[in-house]
Structure 1
Amino acid sequence: MQDAKPVLIRETFPVGPLQCNCTIIGDPLSKKAIVVDPGGNPDLIMAKLEAHGLKVVSIIHTHAHLDHFLASGQMKEKTGATLHLHKEDQFLWDNLEMQCGMFGVPYVPVPAPDRWLADDEELACGCGVALHTPGHTPGSMSFWFADAKLLIAGDTLFRGAIGRTDLWGGDFPTIQRSIKQRLYTLDEEATVVTGHGPDTRLGDEMRNNPFVRA
């Protein structure tokens, strides 16, 4: 009988002024990790990585609203990891200072992304794929880890809610289509890590989400 695959290391915790959920995903064998949405508190993120004995190889972003990448430059500086974003959110990334001014958040410059994420691209840890799920922003991404039945949905899907579409580049029909055609076709037993607030279960959202049902 084949040995079961070792369970991915996953820790999610709120960071930054708007309490975005930052997630660490680690391969327990190689000890390589990706960090998703480091929106603040870089020292806290580093401490959690060190506690798991993980080395960051890439820093990936569900989208480029300020609260999801405020600490990305500091994390790159501390780890040497590459920054990844979907190209269609470059205009938001480039306008970080304007976003900070609108929300009254101190501005910390962040370098340009190193690489553009593509739909269905395999992630650096070799354990998941990137899904282009536009609507909240034009370049919104979700990250799917099939073996772990884990979906990182960013601000696309929440427990009992969906991402707002009244900010730059948001579009309600597009987010509905992304959720129905990309997310609701995944394993309904999957745990969904949302951009803010508690996890949810995909099947529960498919049946009960008041904004988009399967």
Structure 2
Amino acid sequence: MSAQPALIRETFPVGPLQCNCTIIGDPVTGKALVVDPGGDHELILARLDALGLKVVSIIHTHAHLDHFLASGQMKEKTGATLHLHQDDKFLWDNLEMQCRMFGVPYQPVPAPDQWLADDEALACGCGVAMHTPGHTPGSMSFWFPEAKLLIAGDTLFRRGIGRTDLWGGDFAQIERSIRLRLYSLDEDATVVTGHGPDTRLGDEMRENPFIRAGQ
């Protein structure tokens, strides 16, 4: 049997707060997921076009404004469905308030089409959603085992963790999510963070100054 072609993955910062938006594409079907379109919808659409991919699902690690500002425009342009964990609905519904607080122009976004569930298989059949609360109540991470790729949103950063002093944040929860869920994955995995550079899961397990494995 011939090996499966590698998953297409491209990550780039978007929007006023430079959230990392990630495109995950299936090279066989040409279908794609877009994770956290936090702005610059024309740039995201141009990258999809350059990669020859059609987005079918727009999935969100959480509902802070910088991770879904362009979601409505993406849905309007592509017809893709919007996905979020239900525990972050209160944040999604308060986008205008969030924008006002951070001085960011408000762009209305329609309600999510579907609620994400823990251990739910993602479109394209290549990944799974993991409920990893703490940064927000509905924070999700997305795990692609064949590619050894973890999209952690604002739960885990390179030598950092997500802040827990915003709406619904909980340090005890984020600690559990990282220790029990994320640190149980393949330590060779590449971690795509919500902001800033990628990291390696094993490096965070040993060197993250906030939460280390086994401590």
Q: Same fold (TM over 0.5)?
A: yes
Q: Are 1:20 and 2:19 counterparts?
A: yes
Counterpart for residue 174 of structure 2: 175
Moved over 3 A (4+): none
Once the two structures are superposed, what CA deviation does each residue of 1:161-208 show, in whole Å capped at 9, x if it has no partner?
000000000000100000000000000000000000000000000000
Q: Are 1:200 and 2:199 counterparts?
A: yes
How does 1:118-197 map onto structure 2 within 5 Å? 118-197=117-196
Amino acid at match of 2:183: Y
Counterpart for residue 102 of structure 1: 101
Using the TM superposition, give the Cα deviation of residue 153 of structure 1 relative to its aligned residue in structure 2, in angstroms: 0.1
Q: Secondary structure at the match of 1:125?
A: helix
Q: Secondary structure at the match of 2:47?
A: helix
Unaligned runs of 5+ in 1: none
Alpha-carbon distance in structure 1 between the residues aligned to 2:125 and 2:25:
10
Q: In percent, how many aligned pairs have the same letter?
A: 83
Counterpart for residue 30 of structure 1: 29
Once the two structures are superposed, what CA deviation does each residue of 1:36-91 show, in whole Å capped at 9, x if it has no partner?
00000000000000001000000000000000000000000000000000000000
TM-score by length of 2: 0.99
Q: Secondary structure at the match of 2:178?
A: helix
Using the TM superposition, give the Cα deviation of residue 146 of structure 1 relative to its aligned residue in structure 2, in angstroms: 0.0
Using the TM superposition, give the Cα deviation of residue 98 of structure 1 relative to its aligned residue in structure 2, in angstroms: 0.1
Counterpart for residue 83 of structure 1: 82
Alpha-carbon distance in structure 2 between the residues aligned to 1:3 and 1:135:
41
Once the two structures are superposed, what CA deviation does each residue of 1:1-45 show, in whole Å capped at 9, x if it has no partner?
x21111000000000000000000000000000000000000000
Counterpart for residue 66 of structure 2: 67
Counterpart for residue 46 of structure 2: 47
TM-score by length of 1: 0.99
